[in-house]
Every structure is written in structure tokens, then in C-alpha cells.
Structure 1
């Protein structure tokens, strides 16, 4: 665990002091460029950009502009190598054999083409973006459809996304970090940012406030058993609270990634809180919803990840959130507000928790997300962005986007079903490259 803490310290702590490291990495990139190691040079820039270290946004923008704006032939080389080197993983192997199985779930039609009116499709999860470029004739697709990308993690200086700057058509990109939005805007390319993200597309019908009953779980944390979720740091932060409230009930929900449930228990023992913890592993979304309804507070304690959905699911259930201060790039998200929750650090977790408990009857997380942050609102924002572009290019806009929600294994329609888009999926099937089946 000491090694994990050292790695975390290097990657995420005192980022404002790490400008000299960024300068040194820039030097490495220049050397790699001179010896024509362009894929490696870009990979270094991508990793540094994601770190959030001082000056990393400037470096990321500079290198991205070099490859995908000033020297697109090099960007094409970097992208082609990245796409061609993609391995077939357990969760993607079937797509290598049958790319059409990506349709209606990973690649989802939100609007069908109608004569001179373009349709729209959305691609979910960042690691599927390059597979679409590998297996489909994207230029042919864009003649009939506008493309929306829904990234699954923050830090947009990466091949998964920037390969789309080489597409000769607009590509609409969900952005949920202001830092990434500014990065895309500085590129001044065909990527059009839309300020929504995956957590907007939760099926709110499955997460609703309890009708009655006392909330008997003091703290809930829905997070995979993964190092980046920082269970150990969370346990350390809540240990003073447990000492002051020995009967505090803490519930954990997750599944194994790079650590096990037994290791989670060991971390709890290390912090003297094992008697306060109840653990649920591999439970259904319905069971998660039932626990959310019983919780007084929902916690997100990672330092860096994508657009977390568990805290928004909790808000739909009327559960306020405590989010670790400095999450991702330290943005003060508008969805963390006096109606929904607070930011906290290791030093003031107890104070923030007690503040929420003292205000629990005043806070209205469900009201906030139902009015401001849900699949219908997110779809409207996406639709308005595409409509504005289409009308500015003298193309018609007669029908709106369908509302989709993110399920366990992809996307599904909220109000309709895929049969409505049968012709569109057939048209996309005809855009699969012949080489994709070889």
C-alpha cells in the first residue's frame, strides 16, 4: 500500500509545484520527435496532460496542435498506429469478429436520416471510439449522420478522441471538465464541445426517493474495488467520525478490479472501522437503488476518474453527496451545491458530514437533478448544439434526438425502442469496411 501511496503522491499531489517536471517531459518529447518516435512523443504528452500538473494543459495543447493541426500527416500516422495496434480484449473481441454487434448499444442511433436531413448517432465509452474508426467507413457514415462521442474518462489529449480531428465532418464531443473544453476550443478544429457527460444519462425511473421510512445507512460508498477509488484514504478520513460515533453504519458496494473485497476488509481493519462496515459485492442496479434510498450521505473519494454516475444516482434517490475536494482537475462543479452536497478533504470530512446531517431536511438533491441534470435535459442540450450547426449550414432540422440512457452493458432508449431505427442500423451495417470481417 505504501507503493500505491507514493504513486498517487507523484501523480496527483502538489500538482502546482510540478512545472519543472512538465518542462523536462517537453524536452523528452522534442528528442522523440527528432528521432521520429512520434507515437511515443504524443503518448508522453497525453499522459502529462492527464496529470493536471502545472503547465500540462499548455503542453498538451501545443503537442496536439503540432500533430493534429499543423502536421496532420503525422497525426494520421500516430492515429493509424494507435488504431491498428489495438488488441482484442475480453470486452472487445466480439467486435473484432462482428463489428455490427457494436450497433444498438455501443453505437446508438438517436435520430434517423430523412432525405436531406441528417440523422445522429452516439458512441459510448472512449475505448470504442477507435474501433468505430477501424471497422466503419466513417466518411460514408457522416454523409447521413452526425456523430456524437461520449468519453468515459477525463483528459482529452489522447488518440481515442483526437483521431476524430482527421474526419472531414463535424464531430460533437461531450465535455464535462472545463479544462478539457478549453483544450478542445484551442485546437479550433472539427470537434464541437457539448457540455454534458455520461452521468447525465441515468435512467431516473430506476432511482427515486423513498416513499417513507428512516434512512438507516449513515454513509454509502458505491465504488469498484480499485486502487483509484481510494478506499484506504476514505477509511482514514472517516476514522475520527467513527470514534465520535461508534455506531456509525457504513455500507460499501462494489466489485473486484485491481483489488479484492478481502483487501478492502484489511484496509478497514487497518483503520479500526471494520465493525462499522457492511459490504455488498456484484449486486444489481435495483439493489443499489434500494441502498441509495436508505443512505443519509453518498461519498465519492477518488482523485481522478471520469464522470461518476453513482453520486448522481444517489441524488435521484434524494441522497446528498460528499465529493473529495480537488476531484479530477479541481473544478467546483455546479451539481455540488447547497441543495445536493459538499466538497470535503481528509481533514474536514467529519465537519462536512455533520453539516449535511444538520441540513438533511433542507437539502433537495432529487429536485435539483430532475430540473437540471438528467437524460431529457442532456438530450435537449445535445440536440440544440447539433440543430444550431445544421441550420447554420443551411440543412433542415425537423425532428429532435431520441432520449437514451446508459445501462450496465451500453445504451438503451428511454421512451422508444430500436425497431424505430431499424433502417438506420441497416444503413450503418452497410458502412462496415470489408476488411473488418477478415
Structure 2
């Protein structure tokens, strides 16, 4: 069995953490596939570019893909639907027996497929043989927008050799945010809550980069207990999670976020917005809490409440987090993928 993974989500010098889960998945598949099987990957590294730069980047990628059109693969597995579906569609025109699998991650279906273009994408996506939305909410959108049957809901998986509860590490931060400092991730809501509380004893760690970096630096300069970490490796992120008490994330849109599962593997309860994607992950009062979307006042209240939570109550949340999603280890997820590959043959 010959497999080709195609993705526009892959780490680079500029974005060392972007798409790391695809890289992890590919490397784990290399380990567990049989000797008679082979797997390759064609990826486009993430870069900061202008709109024109992004267009040129994709054109360059499509040109670099052309040699693969002359190779024979049994399975093509796309990570991210748009615009990679064009490559899969064209490849299948040349090699009709090839099976096409698409892992949908979020914005590739929530933002890229809309009322204006969905009929076109419904036609071109007929080349898809199996769909893998990373979450149940996403699965409904794939069925609704593309009229594709659900294959299987499979999140990307967590490397539990890296993300685990390390009891030797002492707590340093009350709350941690991991991700892009963007409006989509709700960083502005967190910043407003910090300002509203005006409690400089509460410690926060922000791990990532993005639009709100300067706003966070300003809060730090004003005396708020804010630490900013950038360009962290997975092992460094795991250490930061273990140094923290709660993961704080107020996203407005997600697929099936991996950082939340990584945090629970490290024993962190979650405080999230109440969007449907987080409702798939949070059992309120068991492994975390939810706050109404964009509600700064309620977020401020839950930060205060959890910050003075009795140790016994907190430890119950830690236990609840550790007992959540054990089945989503990277190895378990990759075993499911290998089964799907073989079933499609």
C-alpha cells in the first residue's frame, strides 16, 4: 500500500508549532505501518505572507506537486480541505483507482466553503472517498455544506510521551493561554477580563504570538503578572502547561482544538468559551468550566472563583481532566487511520 499525505499545515522556522500534529501523525504512521506499506508526505511550510504572497506560495506549491502526478499511490490523505482538494481532484483524474481521504480541521470548511462556492465544492469533492472531521460539530458542517457522508470523527491525537502530568514540576502560573494571539482565539476577551479584574497578584502565561502581542506587553508594563513565551517546542509547551493551574481559552471558532486535549493530558482543567466545539470537550464541573462567548464579566468571575478554589475541589478537576480523552493518544489515533487505509483497499 502506497500512501501520500498532503498538507498545508507543517512547522517552519517562522511558525514552529503550526501543524506539528500533522508531522507527529505522519511520523507515528511511519512507525506502525507494515513493511509492505510506505508513506510519503508533501507539505507546504507555514509562513507570514501578504495576500499576494499567499497566492504565489500556493502556485509554487502546486508546481512543486507536479512530479507526484506521475507516481502511483493507493491512498492520498489530505490534511485541510481547501485549497488542497484541487490537487487530489486532479491526481484522481489521472489515477482513478486512488482513494482520497480528507481530514477536516476547521477553517477549511467553516470559512473556506460558503454559500457562494459550496455548489462548486460539492462537485469537486465527489473525488473524496472518506471524510475525517476532527470533531462532531465539524462533521455536521461537512455533511451540510459538501453533502459528503461522514466517514469517522477522529481528532489528530496527542503525543503522550510529551504531554503528560509531571508531578515533579511546581506550579508557577495561575492561568495559561496557548495559541495565536488573535481575535478568533478570543485573546481580546481575556485581556479585557484581566484589565477589569485589576488584580496584579494573579499570574498569567501567554504562549504564542500574534496581533495582541503589543497589548499583552502593555499590560505587563503596567504591572500585571504576565509572562509571554514565544517559539516554544512541544516539550517546552508541555512544561509550561505543567507549571500552570488552568488553561484559559476564549475562542470564537475552532475545529476540535488539540491544545485543550494536550492540557488535559497534563492534568490541567479548562476554562473555555461556550462554542459547540468546546462543548464536545468540557464536562462542566468535572474537567473544567465554560463562559458565555464574549462575556468579559462572567470570565472575570470564573477567574476569581477558580483562583481561590479549595485544593480538594481543584484536585477533583485535575483528576477529571486526566480521565478525559485517554483514547486520543497519538498511537491510538494512528491505529484507527491504518485500519481505514486498509479498509479502503
TM-score range, shorter chain: 0.5 to 0.7
Deviation, structure 1 residue 222: 1.0
Of residues 95, 99, 108, the one that matches 2:61 is 95
Per the alignment, residue 188 of structure 2 pairs with 232
Contact 1:170–1:191, Cα closer than 8 Å, also in 2: no
- Which whole-Å CA distance do the structure 2 matches of 1:87 and 1:191 have between them? 35
- TM-score for the superposition, normalised by structure 2: 0.66
Of residues 264, 270, 288, the one that matches 1:315 is 264
Of residues 269, 273, 280, the one that matches 2:229 is 280
Per the alignment, residue 222 of structure 1 pairs with 178
Per the alignment, residue 78 of structure 2 pairs with 123
Q: Say if 1:90 and 1:351 are closer, same or farther in 2 by CA, change over 3 A.
A: farther
Q: What is the RMSD computed on CA atoms of the aligned residues?
A: 3.8
Contact 1:122–1:150, Cα closer than 8 Å, also in 2: no
Of residues 91, 97, 100, the one that matches 1:137 is 91
Of residues 231, 252, 270, the one that matches 1:303 is 252
Per the alignment, residue 24 of structure 1 pairs with none
Unmatched 5+ residue regions in structure 1?
Answer: 1-85, 104-111, 114-118, 391-395, 397-438
- Which whole-Å CA distance do the structure 2 matches of 1:294 and 1:355 have between them? 17
Higher mean alpha-carbon deviation, 358-367 vs 87-96, is at 87-96
- TM-score for the superposition, normalised by structure 1: 0.53
Contact 1:298–1:322, Cα closer than 8 Å, also in 2: yes
Give the structure with higher Rg (CA): 1
- Which whole-Å CA distance do the structure 1 matches of 2:212 and 2:235 have between them? 23
Per the alignment, residue 192 of structure 1 pairs with 150
Give the length in aligned residue pairs. Answer: 280
Unmatched 5+ residue regions in structure 2?
Answer: 1-51
Deviation, structure 1 residue 300: 1.0
Q: Say if 1:284 and 1:382 are closer, same or farther in 2 by CA, change over 3 A.
A: closer
- Which whole-Å CA distance do the structure 2 matches of 1:344 and 1:240 have between them? 16
Q: Say if 1:358 and 1:302 are closer, same or farther in 2 by CA, change over 3 A.
A: farther
Name the structure with the higher helix share: 1
Structure 2 residue 333 is matched with structure 1 residue 378: yes
Contact 1:206–1:289, Cα closer than 8 Å, also in 2: yes
Deviation, structure 1 residue 195: 1.5
Q: Say if 1:308 and 1:237 are closer, same or farther in 2 by CA, change over 3 A.
A: same
Deviation, structure 1 residue 291: 0.7
- Which whole-Å CA distance do the structure 1 matches of 2:277 and 2:106 have between them? 18
Q: Say if 1:379 and 1:213 are closer, same or farther in 2 by CA, change over 3 A.
A: closer
Contact 1:339–1:368, Cα closer than 8 Å, also in 2: no
Deviations 1:44-76 (CA, angstroms, capped at 9, x unpaired):
xxxxxxxxxxxxxxxxxxxxxxxxxxxxxxxxx
Deviations 1:387-415 (CA, angstroms, capped at 9, x unpaired):
77x5xxxxx6xxxxxxxxxxxxxxxxxxx
Deviation, structure 1 residue 226: 1.9
Deviation, structure 1 residue 321: 1.3
Per the alignment, residue 287 of structure 2 pairs with 340
- Which whole-Å CA distance do the structure 2 matches of 1:360 and 1:101 have between them? 55
3-state SS of the aligned residue for 1:318?
A: coil
3-state SS of the aligned residue for 2:87?
A: helix
Deviation, structure 1 residue 138: 1.9
- Which whole-Å CA distance do the structure 2 matches of 1:235 and 1:173 have between them? 37
Q: Where in structure 2 are the equivalents of 1:372-411 lying within 5 Å?
A: 372-382=327-337, 390=344
Deviation, structure 1 residue 278: 1.0
- Which whole-Å CA distance do the structure 2 matches of 1:277 and 1:235 have between them? 11
- Which whole-Å CA distance do the structure 2 matches of 1:90 and 1:281 have between them? 28
Structure 2 residue 217 is matched with structure 1 residue 265: yes
